Amino acid sequence: MAAADPNESLNLRPLGMVEKNPTALKLILGGKLRELRAAAGLDPADVDGRLGFSRSKTSRIELGRHGCKRVDALALLGLYGVDDEERIEEFLRLVDQSRRADWWRSFNDVLSDFFTPLVALESAAERIRTYEPFYVPGLLQTPAYTRAVIQAGPGHLLPHDVMRRVELRQERQRQLDQPDAPYLWAMIDESVLMRTVGGREVMRAQLEHLIELMDRPRVTLQIAPLDVSAAVGVGTGVTYLRFALSDLKDAVYIEHLTDSTFTQKPQIVEQYRNMLDRLGACALTPGQSLGVLQKRLSDC
């Protein structure tokens, strides 16, 4: 059987929004280099030795943890037998794109390490599905509601830090307000609507905002009644990222009390996707959910 042509293996589909996301590009390019290395019958240590890389540099590049320089990309592609000049040049163009600064870097002062993977990749997703048992999902919050949630959290934050966290959440929302942004499917536990977060006026404005968002074609909102969420047993906040490109594995972000888990392990991702499927099937329809929101607003 003839060996696979490494030039064909380098083929990348049109990337769309992903091309604007340096973190996603690093993961895709690293994955392509990993495939080429495996096809060449080499392990990462072999590559490090042959190219004079520092220990584990090849692995870090393949995992998207280390930005790949043009000179490193050329050396790797040459070692793997890629010689199609047009495809090499396209790959190098994407390498340059991947080395741009991510927008969220300017929020490093308030961005926790465990939260960074979600913020870095959510705008590259084709679809975002999220369930929240305690608060309105962050991507649907008003600034005043966000401020109230942050101030109610653990620890004492200075006013400047609170403001920066509110700004970060607003910027995340703006990233998802582009023409080719992901579809957002949000499910909110019914108990969330019973909590008057930030006071009556803040809650009224938040309910009005949710009602307005339901008119957007890229937003689907469902309310999960108490008996439904109890039966399905999600129990914690979950966000699932679905990517259009097979080169990016789907991911889930799972919230805990003081930290979170972000994983792309297929078995775990599938478990949470199935759980969200069951919850969505049992939750109120968008039309019924709109009625619940309107009723809650009239009572608030």
Q: How far apart are CA 171 and CA 154, in angstroms?
A: 23
Would you state the pLDDT for residue 216? 92
**Together in a domain, 115 and 264:** yes
Phi and psi based region of residue 233 (left: phi greater than 0; alpha: psi -120 to 50; beta: remaining) = left
Residues 82 and 185 in one domain: no
The answer to whether residue 3 scores a pLDDT higher than 70 is no
Three-state DSSP at 247 gives: coil
On whether both 231 and 258 belong to a single domain, the answer is yes
The answer as to whether 289 is a domain residue is yes
**8 pLDDT more than 70:** yes
pTM of the model: 0.89
Q: Give the chain's domain count.
A: 2
Q: Judge whether residue 1 has pLDDT over 50.
A: no
Confidence of residue 235 (pLDDT cuts 50, 70, 90): confident
Total count of residues recorded for the chain: 300
Which of the listed residues 59, 83, 100 is the one where a domain comes to its end?
100
Query: Cα–Cα distance between 157 and 34 in angstroms, integer?
Result: 43
Same-domain status, 206 and 181: yes
Same domain, yes or no: 43 and 191: no
Q: Answer for the pair 228, 282: CB distance below 8 angstroms, yes or no.
A: yes
- Helix and strand tally (H, E) in the chain? 14, 6
DSSP H stretches of helix in 116-188? 116-121, 143-151, 159-175
Q: What is the bridge-based pairing of β-strands 260-263 and 238-242? A: unpaired
Give me the pLDDT at residue 2, please: 44
Alpha-carbon distance 80 to 85, whole Å? 14
Band of pLDDT at residue 233, cut at 50, 70 and 90: low
Using a pLDDT cut of 70, give the percent of the chain over it: 97
CATH classification of the domain holding 137: 3.30.870
Tell me: do 254 and 131 sit in the same domain. yes
* CATH at 90: 1.10.260.40
Is residue 263 domain-shared with residue 157, that is, in the same domain? yes
- Please tell me the predicted confidence (pLDDT) of residue 179: 79
Strand intervals (E) in the chain: 127-132, 183-189, 219-224, 238-242, 251-255, 260-263
Same domain, 218 and 111: yes
The residue segments making up the domain with residue 85 are 15-100
Residue 4 lies in a domain: no
Residue 225 belongs to a domain: yes
Q: Do 232 and 153 belong together in one domain? A: yes
Per-residue pLDDT tens over the stretch 60-94: 999 988 889 999 999 999 999 999 999 999 999 99
